[in-house]
Structure 1
Amino acid sequence: MKIIIAGGTGFLGENLEKYFTEKGDQVYILTRKPKRSNEIYWNAKDIGDWKNVLENTNVLINLTGKSVDCRYHDKNKREIYTSRIESTHVLQKALDQCLNPPRIWLNASSATIYVHSETQVNTEENGIIGDDFSMNICKSWEKEFFAINNEKIRKVALRTSIVLGHNGGAFPKLKTITRLGLGGKQGRGNQMVSWIHIDDFCKAVDWIIQNEEILGPINITSPEPISNETMMRTLRKKLKNPLGLNAPVWQLEIASIFLKTETELLLKSRNVYPENLIKSGFQFAFPNFDLALAQLLKS
C-alpha cells in the first residue's frame, strides 16, 4: 500500500511508519520540517505541492495536532484547536481535488471525548460525551472531519486512549517516577485509566484499514481499563520498588504549574471500551495491563 501520515513525526507516527514499512508498504510523512527522502513539507493549513502525493494513495492517516501536555492558557488552547481543525480542513480540500483519492482516511481523535466516569463504561454507542475544553475540542475535531461525505473515501475517527510504548508517550515517564519512589496513586487513585499497547495500536489501525465495514468513530483502547491506584501498584511491584509516595490533588496542582501541564491528564477518569473493534473480530495481543507491562519491561 501507499500510505500518507500527516503529522507523522511523533510517537504514534514513528511507530506506524515502522510497522507498515516492515510489512513492505510505502509510507510518506507530511511534516513542517522534512529531513528524510520520504518526508514532504506542509504547514498543515494551506494547499501546497504536498497535495500531489495524495493522488493514487491507498490510506491517509492524520495525526496532526499540538500536544495537550501543556498549560491550558488562551494561546495554547487556541493552538490546540486550530492545529486540529485547520489540518483536517485543508486535507479535505486537497482530497476534493483528487481524481483518485485514498480509499480510507483515518483521523486522530481522543478517548477523552467522553465524560469523567469511574463506573460508566463508554462505548461508541452509549458513551456519554460532555462539555468542557477537552471534550469540545474532540467534538469540533470530529465535526470538521465528518462534515463532508465522499462516497469514495471511508472515514474513521480514532478515539485513542493513552498509548504505552518504549520510545515515547506516557510509559517512560511512569517508569521513571516509579523508580524514583514517586509511583503512588495520583489524587484519590480511583480514576480509570484507558490505555493500549503501541503494538495493538498499530495492529488496530491496520485492522481498520483491511476491514471495510468499519467506519465512523472507533475506540482505540484495550478492553480492560484499570484504576490509577491499581496501575501504579502493579508497576511498583514489577519494578520491585515497594516505595511509592502518593500525590494528593493539591500537590499535583502545584507540580503541574512547574511542569507546564494540566492535572486533568492524570486525574480524569477515562473508562472506555472498544466495542466496535471487539465486534469486528479484532484480537488484542495485550488485552490486560499485566501482559502489556511484562512485554514493555522485558524490552
Structure 2
Amino acid sequence: MVSTAKNQSSVVMIILLGFSDYPELQVPLFLLFLTIYAVTILGNVGMIVIIRISPKLHTPMYFFLSHLSFVDFCYSTIVIPKLLENLIVEDRSNSIKGCITQFSIGCTCVMTEMVMLAVMAYDRFVAISYPLLYTVSMSPNLCSLLVTVAYSWGIISSIVLTYSLLVLSFCGTKIINNFVCEYSVFPSAACSDKHFSELILFIVVNLNTFCTLIIILTSYLFISVTILKMHSASGRYKGFSTCSSHLTAVTIFYGTILFLYCIPNSKNSWFVVKVGSVFYTVVIPMLNPLIYSLRNNEVKETLRKLMDVKIISQ
C-alpha cells in the first residue's frame, strides 16, 4: 500500500479552492492576511528577542513563552505564505507530497503547542501554590526537559499521523474546499480504505487533547483553590492576574478547536468552517504575543525601557 501511494503521488494533484468562491474578496483578503502575517512575525520574533536580551525575563514562565512564540512563528510560516499564494494565482494545484509535508510540519507545531500550553499551566501552578520553592522546583534542567518533551511529543505525534497518510493510495486530481493541507484533505483525496487512518487520527488527536486539557484544568483547579485561600484581596488579584494571559490563550486555542469540531459537516457550514479554520491557523499565532505583551506588566516595562534607550541613542 505504501509503495502504491508513493508511485501515484507523483501524478496525483490536490486543488485547494481556498476563497475562490469570492473573487471580489481575493485582493482584500490577500492584504488582510499579509498584514496579519507581518504582525505575527514581528510579534513572535520580537517576543523571543525581548525575552533573550532582558535578564529580568530569564524565568521559567518566559522561557516557555519564548518557545511558544517560536512554535507560533513556525506554524504561521508554514500556513500563511501558501494561503497568500493561492489568493493571487489561478493554478491552485498542489502535489500530494507537498501537501503531506505542509501537514506534517503544521501538525508538529499544533501538537507541540498543546503540550507547551499544558507545561505553562503546570508552571503557573507551581509558581502560585509553592512560591517559596518555585525557583528550586522549576530548575533550568527541568524546564529544558519539559520543553524537550513538548517538541518530542509533537514530532512523534506528527510522524504517526503522517505515516497513517502514507499508507493511503491517492489517484487522480481532487478538488478540496479548503485553503490549507489539513488532515481532512487526504481522506477526501484517497481512493483506498480510510478506516486505519481515521482510527489513528481519532486516537492521537483525542489523546493529545484529553491529556493536555486534564493537565491544564487540574492545574487551574489547584490554582483557584490556592488563590481563594489567600486572605488579602491584593494577593488574590495578583494571583489571578498572573494567570490571566495564559488562561486567555488557552481559552482561545481550545475554544476554537472545540468550535470547529462541533460544526456539522454540511455544505451550508463550509463558510463558517473556513472562518473558524482561518482563526485557528492564522489569527491565533498573531494573538498569542499580543495577549502576553498587553496583559503582562514585565513585558510592557521591558518594551518601554527598550524604547527609551532607542530614543536616547537617537
Pair in the same fold by TM > 0.5: no
Choose 1 or 2 for highest CA Rg: 2
Higher helix share: 2
| Greater RCO, CA 8 A, separation 6+ | 2
The bucket for the TM-score relative to the shorter chain is under 0.3
